[in-house]
């Protein structure tokens, strides 16, 4: 049974649930994970960035000058993985994270101060969580191809007014 450090990186495609697919398109999720592997569990931290194209032309009431622009998510998340160590080249696992999300999208409002007007687009915080189901295939000593799917949700906060959720199939490399 392996004990020691585990790290991975993956690239996924977030697919939003319960949204207008002509406005919110599938995007990209780049994720990095590092943790300490104690055999049946891994305790670590995930960091990542996600980009989701927003087609402003298909939103009623949005004025001219807005085209397609990405909604950006930066996140870090403490993660716990439960895995089944065995003597085969397969390593199945499930994981849960508690996400600290910072979201940003192109601003559609103009805010005017005393001397000037500007468009405002800042990163805003929203809490969330993610559940993962994955399978790593050993390709060489210490290296695995990692495939899986994540179900994520982001609760109401300073960016979303209601809970939003998405599914992200991913592929990457896992090292242990």
Nearest to 53 by CA among 42, 41, 69: 69
**Backbone angles phi and psi of 66, in degrees to 5:** -110, 130
> Mind listing the pLDDT tens digit for each residue in 85-106?
888 899 999 999 999 999 888 7
> Mind listing the pLDDT tens digit for each residue in 18-60?
888 888 889 999 999 999 999 899 999 999 999 998 887 777 7
What's the token pair of residue 125?
Answer: 């915080």
> Mind listing the pLDDT tens digit for each residue in 62-88?
666 667 678 899 999 999 999 988 888
Nearest to 167 by CA among 150, 146, 148: 150
Q: What is the pLDDT of residue 113?
A: 65
Cβ count near 145 (within 10 Å): 13
> Mind listing the pLDDT tens digit for each residue in 121-164?
678 889 999 999 999 999 999 899 999 999 999 988 778 888 88
Q: Which domains does the chain have, with CATH numbers?
A: 4-175 (2.40.160.20)
Which pTM does this prediction carry? 0.84
What's the token pair of residue 34?
Answer: 């590092």
> Mind listing the pLDDT tens digit for each residue in 118-131?
666 678 889 999 99
Q: How far is CA 98 from CA 2, 76, 131, in A?
A: 25, 9, 9
DSSP letter at 24? B
């Amino acid at each position: 049974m392996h004990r020691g450090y585990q790290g991975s990186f993956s690239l996924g495609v977030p697919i939003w649930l319960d949204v207008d697919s002509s406005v919110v398109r599938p995007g990209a999720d780049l994720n990095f994970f590092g943790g300490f592997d104690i055999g049946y569990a891994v305790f670590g931290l995930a960091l990542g960035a996600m980009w989701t194209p927003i087609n402003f032309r298909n939103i009623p009431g949005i004025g001219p000058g807005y085209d397609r622009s990405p909604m950006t998510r930066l996140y870090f998340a403490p993660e716990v993985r439960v895995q089944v160590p065995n003597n085969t080249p397969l390593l199945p696992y499930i994981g849960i994270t508690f996400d600290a999300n910072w979201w940003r999208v192109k601003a559609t409002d103009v805010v005017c101060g005393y001397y000037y007007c500007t468009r405002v687009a800042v990163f805003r915080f929203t809490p969330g969580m993610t559940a993962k189901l994955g399978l790593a295939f050993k390709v060489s000593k210490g290296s695995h191809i990692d495939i899986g799917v994540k179900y994520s949700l982001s609760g109401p906060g300073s960016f979303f007014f209601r809970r939003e959720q998405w599914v992200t199939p991913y592929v990457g490399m896992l090292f242990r």
